Structure 1
Amino acid sequence: MNKSQIQLIVQISETGSFTKAGEELHMTQPAVSRAVATIEAELGTKLIKRNKKNGLFFTDVGERILVIFRNILYELQKVDEIIAAEKGLEIGKVHIGAFPTVCTRFIPKIIRTMEDKYPGLEVKLSEGSIDQVKEWLRS
């Protein structure tokens, strides 16, 4: 199991789609399907199920493994940040969740300032209702 495979499984969870996950990671949908099949074969269990009626969903074991994969990626990011800090660089990911009014009025200027001051930061903006933002924080 490598970092790219772990990122792929997490991205599938976040996008809810093999195709969208592939686009985010610059992979074709068939390549994503093959990679998932390889991961599942390596682990010896099914992580994701797909059907036309319900779309895709994670199995029970897939959900539990997904939590671990997210933690692994978080810890690997921390390693990268420690190494970058040792070199005098500021890097990392900032995920901003906000409702539409904030996204259009305030966030663009804040993001521009952050990117100018800290070019090593990756900023991801998600727009949703207050309830959606609360749910994102919980999950």
Structure 2
Amino acid sequence: MEYKQFKYVLKIAELGNLTKAAEELYITQPSLSHYIARVEEEMGTQLFDRSTNPLTLTPAGEHYCETARMILKLDAKLRKDVSDIAENKVGTLLLGMSHARAAYFLPYIFPPFLERYPRMEIRTKEQRSSLLEEYVAQGSCDLAVMPLPLSGKYTLKAESVMKEELLLVSGKALPHHVREDGRPYVNFEVLNGQQFTLLHPGHGVRMALDAIFMEHEVHPGHVFETTSNEVAYRLSTAGVGIAIVPESTILLSAAVERPYMYSLTERGLFWHIAAVYRDENYLTEPQRYLIELMKTQFMRAEHRQQGDGTVA
């Protein structure tokens, strides 16, 4: 789409002189005169009053130029929009994560992401981990942020963006030891027979803890189930059982009473939070940037944590 006729008419209107306009347009004056005469014939009216010096626009010419400017402006916008879409600078990124993780992650990653991609829209789907895997596999989410390991039901790629400690929270003191850095910790045998507040099956923390309890032969007493780490944390601080929650939950949630907090074993118990996607070859530039942004932002949190224990 060139719109030469608009550019030619606008240039003559700007300069008021055919010869000068022809020079700036890099064509001969007779060619330009012939071109304008043909445009006027197509329009059925004169666009320029040739009795004046410099040339002036007729009322029809004024309207023609006003419309021509609008069309050229829309054309420029169209070209930029198509170019931005082709370069993945415009569009929608569908991001899946749990509600609690969204509360922790999004304030850190949204501002720098939108500063770099102001015309990108991020839409979140906040669901438990088992559903997020399905969403990514089916294409309902471009990326999901969730704990490892994955279930193995789908062929997905995962990149760790954060290592986070799982802490035991109790409303009462438990038999414990103290590490050299001063942090108290409990061993798994202390957990046997304890009343727990745990997330429902299917949630990331619950799947991880079920595997840990089986590996270390932990047999909880009564278990109260909830859908929220925050609820589990606040109940434990009120003295209703004990909870094992991610450190981010503690940072975001208000305790009912000041709780006792312990690492699990001297090394601590950690899990990896990962960005999960279908195929690296289909990651767009904004999606790749978001993953790298998460790695950068949450590296500080990882450095604050102690120990090397990892959820198996």
Change over 3 Å in CA distance of 1:45–1:34 after alignment to 2: same
> 1:126: which partner in 2?
none
- Aligned residue for 1:55, secondary structure, equals coil
Cα deviation code 1:38-92 (max 9, x no counterpart): 00001110001223x53211111111111011111111111111122223399xx
Cα deviation code 1:89-112 (max 9, x no counterpart): 99xxxxxxxxxxxxxxxxxxxxxx
Paired amino acid for 2:26: H
CA RMSD of aligned residues (A): 2.1
Consecutive unaligned residues in structure 1, runs of 5 or more: 91-139
Cα deviation code 1:110-135 (max 9, x no counterpart): xxxxxxxxxxxxxxxxxxxxxxxxxx
- CA distance in 2 between partners of 1:24 and 1:89 (Å): 36
> 1:37: which partner in 2?
37
- 2:4 maps to 1:4: yes
- CA distance in 2 between partners of 1:36 and 1:24 (Å): 16
- CA distance in 2 between partners of 1:31 and 1:16 (Å): 17
Paired amino acid for 1:35: Y
- CA distance in 1 between partners of 2:70 and 2:20 (Å): 22
Q: CA deviation at 1:15?
A: 2.0
Compute the TM-score of the two structures, normalised by the length of structure 1. Answer: 0.57
Q: Which is bigger in relative contact order (C-alpha 8 A, separation at least 6)? A: 2
> 1:26: which partner in 2?
26
Find runs of 4+ consecutive structure 1 residues off by over 2 angstroms. Answer: 86-90
Consecutive unaligned residues in structure 2, runs of 5 or more: 90-312
Q: More helix by proportion, 1 or 2?
A: 1
> 2:14: which partner in 1?
14
Paired amino acid for 1:38: R
Paired amino acid for 1:9: V
Paired amino acid for 1:81: K
- CA distance in 2 between partners of 1:21 and 1:84 (Å): 31
- CA distance in 2 between partners of 1:80 and 1:89 (Å): 14
Paired amino acid for 2:75: L
Kindly tell me the number of residue pairs found equivalent between the two proteins. Answer: 88
Change over 3 Å in CA distance of 1:67–1:89 after alignment to 2: farther
